[in-house]
Amino acid sequence: MLSKQWTEELPVDGIKKIRSVAGGDVNQAYQVETSEGPYFLLTQPNRSGDFYRGEIAGLKALENAGVTAPRVIGSGQIEGDAYLLLTFLEEGRGKGSQRDLGKLIANMHQHYSPNGKFGFDEPSTSSDITYSNEWRDTWRELFVDQRMDELADKLIQNGSWNKKEEQQYQKVRAVMNEELTKHQSKPSLLHGDLWGGNHMFLTDGTPALFDPNALYGDREFDLGCSLVFNAFSDEFYRAYQEVYPLGPGYEKRLNFYSLYLLMIHQYKFGPIYAGGVNRTMNEILTNA
């Protein structure tokens, strides 16, 4: 639990109570009750004050695109711990529709990078993996060279993959290179970690997004990631297609991004995800 001395340095007054809440697998999270209302606090022990720079930039990009998301109140370092203080979004149990969420994502994807390139001004940082997000002229360069190759190397280095998986990946890589070279990508604003745990519906039913790992990339990336844990309904995907239809061949390309998320989970959580990774690689090769 946070000490009184620690919490006194937060940039809010009238703190009444702080309680631990669920915050995913990366952060320690708290609800901060004050005389002015609640706030949401994320902390990372023994991290520098710039740890949350990427998330802050992502939240601001979502806000600029008209997406309901937490607003940043303050950030920095207290007693050697990084912190990010956000507005608190009140969840409305049983409120909201997947249709509205699908429209929200489709509209967000129609906001494009200001320089016409793929990437982001800040790196994507987590407790396990950091990506540079260096601006690239093509989506293939950013996704395959900067993301997938990096992930594959990490899985080899930590012993999760043997020679067989490494060779299988090289075959998959060739398919991805070919498909993404001919695919016409636009650098859309992406949430970057679109799974069921990173969206909610407010008390009035408004869909909201949080915990972005934002970048400008091919919009199919978000949708392929969204498929991994079956957290979005058919209504979500129908609404998305009505607002911003996907191009020919998207079905097989979505597997590239499902594979990406599964590889991250294999790296972070171990062999429980190995079967999903191997099945998805086989499916990519079968559909090539």
Identify whether 211 is a catalytic site residue.
Answer: no
According to DSSP, the β-strands at 124-125 and 188-190 are unpaired
Q: Annotated catalytic residue: which of 13, 25, 193, 211?
A: 193
- Distance, in Å, from the CA atom of 264 to the CA atom of 99, rounded to the nearest integer, reads 28
> In 10 A of CB 110, how many CB atoms?
13
The dihedral over CA atoms of 98, 58, 125, 258, expressed in degrees to the nearest 10, equals 30
Q: Cα-atom radius of gyration of the chain, to the nearest Å?
A: 20
**Rounded to an integer, what distance in angstroms lies between the CA atom of residue 277 and that of residue 172?**
11
**What is the C-alpha to C-alpha distance for residues 144 and 139, in angstroms, rounded to an integer?**
8
Which residues lie closer than 8 Å to 193 by C-beta, 6 or more apart? 211, 212, 213, 225
Nearest to 169 by CA among 249, 248, 254, 262: 262
Give the helix/strand (H/E) hosting 225: helix 220-226
Residue 179's alpha-carbon distances to 169, 186, 244, in angstroms, are 15, 15, 21
Partners of 118 in beta bridges: 136
Whether the CB-CB separation of 150 and 173 falls below 8 Å is answered with: no
Residues acting as catalytic residues: 193
